[in-house]
């Protein structure tokens, strides 16, 4: 297999993970989570959303979160911005990257951002232009690229069409998102190859939710065709408020374990991420969904119990 030497992991737990929690997560906890992730070595953390608080109440404190985190030079702190109102909030908060988020499925676009795909692109256009003018990095995210909870199958051509429109808006990076985790490796490779006809492969990313347990296989399949940017969520936090039954993103710990095992560098300290996964799971009273996280925590607990007491 011809695999890359380095993979960029975008940690999306503080946004994609926490946006779906029913109980309001205190701002202090969000800030502590992002600071720990920063210390673990991530170069890109999706920290917040500047969306309507009526639609996603959990993200209402985005400005506070951004004001209170300790930033590390070299780490980009990204935020979601569906429209100019969100963009203005993002600029005021000093976001390094703004994310416009559309969909390859009309039905999902309506449920998630209350407009058609064409309307969404028109809404993103001023955001994209303003980002370019201010020199802020622009990322585009395409939901339901491997299937939709409302319409089912999503044709590859629909994904490619949105990739092209996002390229035309000037996106620096584009995410191929499996919102409900239904994709399988062959289909993922087809979509990635087709998307790369419109946008550089090394600036496409895989954003895989793990609902059907396919995410690690889909990452490996994506690596094989040349993708080298992946999104992941510490402790496998998350779901999607507009995709019932969708589980979190693939757990960051599991992705790191696989990549490091393949000899691929990430610059991220797996042990630190496992401790962070334990911290956030306990802080919000949720089971840790990372297999690697659970295995290592169990192993470390057993080792410390077995260690002889100091004389
Ligand atoms: P709308 O209701 O059509 O918009 O929502 P509107 O312009 O009519 O505004 C309605 C109200 O929201 C107004 O307030 C606006 O001021 C306010 P009111 O006058 O009623 O008091 N508002 C805002 N407030 C704060 N920040 C803003 C903002 N915009 C409007 N930016 C809108 C349209 C897009 C705003 C809404 O649908 C929305 O916020 N949706 C967000 C949905 C969302 O965040 N979904 C989750 C993230 S996407 C995701 O998770 C998928 C991803 O992970 C990839 C994958 O896995 O698929 C990225
Ligand atoms: Mg997502």
Q: Does the Cβ of 7 fall within 6 Å of ligand 1?
A: no
Q: How far is Cα 166 from Cα 180, in angstroms, rounded to an integer?
A: 22
Q: Does the Cβ of 85 fall within 6 Å of ligand 1?
A: yes
Q: What is the pLDDT of residue 244?
A: 73
Q: Does the Cβ of 240 fall within 6 Å of ligand 1?
A: yes
Average pLDDT over residues 135-155: 97
Closest-lying ligand 1 atom to the alpha carbon of residue 103: 57
- The pair of three-digit structure tokens given for residue 52, joined into one six-digit string: 């309507």
* % pLDDT > 70, the chain: 97
Q: How far is Cα 47 from Cα 66, in angstroms, rounded to an integer?
A: 7
* % pLDDT > 90, the chain: 92
Residue 311 CA to ligand 1 center (angstroms) comes to: 60
Q: Which ligand is nearest to the CA of 179?
A: 1
Residue 237 CA to ligand 1 center (angstroms) comes to: 21
Q: What is the pLDDT of residue 122?
A: 97
Residue 230 CA to ligand 2 center (angstroms) comes to: 12
Question: What residues act catalytically?
Answer: 240
C-beta separation of 225 from 188 below 8 A: no
Q: Which residue's CA lies nearest to atom 13 of ligand 1?
A: 52
pLDDT band at 69 (very low <50, low <70, confident <90, very high): very high
pLDDT of 31 over the 80 cut? yes
| pLDDT tens digits along 270-279 | 999 999 999 9
Where does residue 29 rank: exposed (0-12), middle (13-18), buried (19+ CB within 10 A)? Answer: middle
pLDDT band at 300 (very low <50, low <70, confident <90, very high): very high
pLDDT band at 2 (very low <50, low <70, confident <90, very high): confident
Q: Does the Cβ of 46 fall within 6 Å of ligand 1?
A: no
Q: What is the pLDDT of residue 21?
A: 87
Q: Which residue's CA lies nearest to atom 3 of ligand 1?
A: 114
Average pLDDT over residues 143-155: 96
Q: What is the pLDDT of residue 311?
A: 53
Residue 209 CA to ligand 2 center (angstroms) comes to: 6
Calculate the average pLDDT of the chain: 96
Burial 77-91 (b: 16+ CB within 10 A, else e): bbbbbbbeebbebbb
Q: Which residue's CA lies nearest to atom 17 of ligand 1?
A: 52
Q: Where are the beta strands (DSSP E) in 187-237?
A: 204-208, 229-232
Q: Does the Cβ of 140 fall within 6 Å of ligand 1?
A: no
Q: What domains, with CATH codes, occur in the chain?
A: 8-306 (3.20.20.70)
Q: How far is Cα 147 from Cα 282, in angstroms, rounded to an integer?
A: 32
Q: Which residue's CA lies nearest to atom 35 of ligand 1?
A: 52
Q: What is the pLDDT of residue 306?
A: 87
Average pLDDT over residues 154-183: 98
Q: What is the pLDDT of residue 240?
A: 64
- Integer CA distances (angstroms), 266 to 2, 70, 123, 249, in order: 17, 21, 35, 18
| pLDDT tens digits along 99-110 | 999 999 999 999
């Amino acid at each position: 297999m011809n695999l890359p030497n380095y993979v960029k992991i975008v940690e999306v737990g503080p946004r994609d993970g926490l946006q779906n929690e029913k109980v309001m997560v205190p701002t202090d906890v969000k800030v502590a989570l992002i600071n720990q992730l920063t210390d673990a070595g991530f170069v890109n953390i999706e920290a917040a959303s500047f969306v309507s608080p009526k639609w996603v109440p959990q993200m209402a404190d985005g400005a506070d979160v951004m004001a209170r985190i300790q930033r590390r030079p070299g780490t980009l702190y990204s935020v979601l911005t569906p429209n100019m109102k969100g963009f203005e909030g993002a600029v005021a908060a000093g976001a390094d990257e703004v994310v416009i988020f559309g969909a390859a499925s009309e039905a999902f676009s309506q449920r998630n951002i209350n407009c058609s795909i064409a309307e969404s692109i028109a809404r993103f256009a001023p955001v994209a232009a303003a980002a370019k003018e201010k020199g802020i990095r622009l990322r585009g995210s395409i939901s339901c690229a491997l299937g939709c909870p409302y319409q089912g199958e999503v044709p590859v051509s629909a994904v490619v069409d949105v990739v092209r429109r996002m390229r035309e808006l000037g996106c620096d990076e584009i995410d191929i998102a499996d919102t409900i985790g239904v994709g399988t490796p062959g289909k993922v490779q087809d979509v990635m190859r087709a998307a790369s006809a419109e946008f550089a492969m090394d600036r496409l990313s895989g954003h895989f939710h793990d609902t059907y347990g396919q995410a690690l296989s889909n990452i490996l399949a994506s690596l094989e065709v040349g993708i080298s940017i992946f999104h992941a969520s510490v402790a496998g936090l998350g779901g999607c408020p507009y995709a019932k039954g969708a589980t979190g993103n693939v757990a960051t710990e599991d992705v790191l374990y696989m990549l490091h095992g393949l000899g691929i560098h990430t610059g991220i300290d797996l042990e630190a991420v496992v401790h962070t996964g334990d911290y956030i799971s306990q802080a919000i009273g949720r089971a840790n969904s990372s297999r690697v996280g659970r295995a290592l925590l169990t192993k470390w607990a057993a080792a410390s119990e077995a260690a002889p007491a100091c004389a």
